[in-house]
């Protein structure tokens, strides 16, 4: 509903990756068009960031929006260019205090990195497809009054996320 959209702290969530043929790109976003191509092009160098930012929480503000994610690099000779680069980012209005979501954003990205190392989760289309259902569920759950999400990313991997309480 419109009222819920106005009070939701997280406007959207998206998965970006570095494609070896086209460069940084959005693989999935919820809701659809939460970030335009123009907005993504303006922030892509921070979303799919250079090595000093790998594994670090990165916040980028543009106009009315704020994007928060953790650029991830998984190294391996099975990848073209010997690495897989991706980032699950949350989208907020620029004025929203995002610190309470930091642990959730870090945990999602770090968990996906672990799953990639263990079972090629992000590089295999059939497991990566699971994110199309999981990411919207995470968004809805973290925006709920409880601010708690528990989702199965894999048959043996359940991700539990809790929005930190404001002090």
Answering whether pTM is above 0.85, one says: yes
Residue of 66, 166, 55, 41 whose CA lies nearest to 108: 55
- pLDDT value of position 47: 96
User: Which burial class, exposed, middle or buried, applies to 141 when counting CB atoms under 10 A from its CB (0-12, 13-18, 19+)?
Assistant: middle
User: What distance lies between CA 121 and its chain's CA centroid?
Assistant: 15
Residue of 145, 142, 63, 53 whose CA lies nearest to 105: 142
pLDDT per position as a tens digit, 126-160: 998 999 999 999 999 999 999 999 999 988 899 99
Cβ atoms of 47 and 16 within 8 Å: the answer is: yes
Task: Work out the pLDDT band at 112, boundaries 50, 70, 90.
Answer: very high
pLDDT per position as a tens digit, 18-55: 999 999 999 999 999 999 999 999 999 999 999 999 99
- pLDDT value of position 165: 83
């Amino acid at each position: 509903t419109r009222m819920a959209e106005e009070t939701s702290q997280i406007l959207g969530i998206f998965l970006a990756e570095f494609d070896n043929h086209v460069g940084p790109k959005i693989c999935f976003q919820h809701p659809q068009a939460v970030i335009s191509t123009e907005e993504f092009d303006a922030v892509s160098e921070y979303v799919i960031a250079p090595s000093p930012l790998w594994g670090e929480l990165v916040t980028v503000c543009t106009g009315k929006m704020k994007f928060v994610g953790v650029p991830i690099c998984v190294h391996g000779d099975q990848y073209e260019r010997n690495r897989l680069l991706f980032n699950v980012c949350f989208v907020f209005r620029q004025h929203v205090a995002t610190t309470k979501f930091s642990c959730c954003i870090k945990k999602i990205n770090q968990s996906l990195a672990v799953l990639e190392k263990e079972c090629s989760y992000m590089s295999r289309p059939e497991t990566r497809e699971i994110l199309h259902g999981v990411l919207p569920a995470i968004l809805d759950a973290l925006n709920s009054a409880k601010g708690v999400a528990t989702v199965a990313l894999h048959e043996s991997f359940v991700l539990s996320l809790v929005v930190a309480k404001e002090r």
